[in-house]
A and B are shown apart, each in its own frame.
Chain A
Amino acid sequence: MIPAAFDYHRPDTLDDALKLLKQYGDQAKVLSGGMSLLPMLKLRLASFAHLVDINRVPGLDYIKEEKGTLCVGAMTRQATLERSDLIRSRYPILADAAPLIADPLVRNRGTVGGNVANGDPGNDHPAIMIALGATYVARGGKERTIPASQFYKGLYDTALARDEILTEIRIPAPPPKSGGAYVKLKRKTGDFAVAAAAVQLTLGKNGAVESARIALTNAALVPVEAADAAKYLVGKTPDDKTIAEAAKMAAAKSQPSADRRGSVEYKREMARVLTARALKKAVERAGRS
């Protein structure tokens, strides 16, 4: 399959990339890893007159912790995230997700920034970033930050303006007694989630939940933050009973659509089961940290 014709631009600097976006407006699309965009162009589900390839823009590929914040450059490949010792040792929720995204060859090209900026509800990082309380850095005329929880507006529709590029993801480093987990059900390698749950929480001195965030992948047109379920857990001991109740509340927030991956009822039930599993795993990890 051959995409409809387009012009290809390969700027060497972020400023040049932004100029191209400004110049071509709605006709332009940023090409990051291309693992979602190129298939969509080939299937002719989308077409753009201009692609702005940011793969050679320097300084967008890094993973570093500074002043209590984990900073991930937008062009960081999924494979780099997967192999990062920092991620493995300090951010188990990201380490859980890394090997579950697409397949190893796709992860060699696909980027974290592309995954969060794409606005596809099947992408895994959006729910995870909401659970982690992340903010996205957008560069346009000037730089601004957008909380992940306020970024997703609709199907492929985000808070990012046409002439902005998402450059960095900032994640608050978890305090002691924190744990996170991502649990995903998929039919096969490379498939999007039937359902998946992202949990990040912190326990207090008495073992009760001090703070928690829960979000679901592929449960609606945008990632679903289950704020009520998280709020319910705060101040409570996370045992089988409270976890089951929170999982039920989270699943009630999901609005999946029926497709080849299953019926609405099945997907909602899986969201409940996976939320409970993610909560259990997160609590165990928090207890150990």
Chain B
Amino acid sequence: MAMHKIKVTVNGAAREAEVESRLLLVHLLRENFGMTGTHVGCDTSHCGACTVHLDGSPVKSCTVLAVQADGAQVTTVEGLEQGGKLHPVQEGFTEKHGLQCGFCTPGMLMTTSALLARNKNPSEQEIREAIAGNLCRCTGYVNIVKAVQYAAEKMR
């Protein structure tokens, strides 16, 4: 079995690991690095609970090999908070009750923080389109949209 030595920058910190080819990025984060904020939901790249930023772009980490992230910058939900201060989308989800069970929330936060980095003033339609790959079974999305709108306002 070929093993690969990889170097990944996770939330700004350089990390190293020796991984099998078939190890998925989400398992590298959760099991090798002990960062369980990123969730495994459907495990078939439908639900988006495992969303992380790979070199700034939100992707489903259950469908990326860990070895593919070699040399890359990965941001997980643990990296959204800066210096003890919540990211505006985290604050928005708190203020607007953007979650109930919370399982989809890490993925939602990663997708919507990437959206706001690209589009400072998204319409409701644009928010809904951006989260089309993240499934929530509790909220009906209404409060998630409000949470993102709150964050957008806050970031302006």
Do chains A and B stick together as partners? yes
A189 touching B133 by the CB < 8 A rule? yes
B57 touching A2 by the CB < 8 A rule? no
Which of B45-53, B77-85, B86-94, B144-152 is the interface stretch? B45-53
User: Contact size class for A?
Assistant: 20 to 34
**B21: Cβ under 8 A from any A Cβ:** yes
Report B-chain residues with C-beta under 8 Å of the C-beta of A8.
Answer: 2, 4, 21, 65, 67
Which of A3, A38, A41, A105 meets B111, CB within 8 Å? Answer: A105
Nearest-neighbour CB distance to chain B for A118, whole angstroms, equals 15
Nearest-neighbour CB distance to chain B for A124, whole angstroms, equals 16
Nearest-neighbour CB distance to chain B for A155, whole angstroms, equals 20
A30 to B64, CA, bound (A): 14
A104 touching B68 by the CB < 8 A rule? no
B51 touching A105 by the CB < 8 A rule? yes
A39 touching B44 by the CB < 8 A rule? yes
A106 touching B21 by the CB < 8 A rule? no
B44 touching A42 by the CB < 8 A rule? yes
B63 touching A34 by the CB < 8 A rule? yes
Which of A3, A43, A79 meets B44, CB within 8 Å? Answer: A43
**A147: Cβ under 8 A from any B Cβ:** no
A3 touching B59 by the CB < 8 A rule? no
Residue of A nearest to B45 (CB): A39
**A16: Cβ under 8 A from any B Cβ:** no
Report A-chain residues with C-beta under 8 Å of the C-beta of B51.
Answer: 105
A51 to B4, CA, bound (A): 14
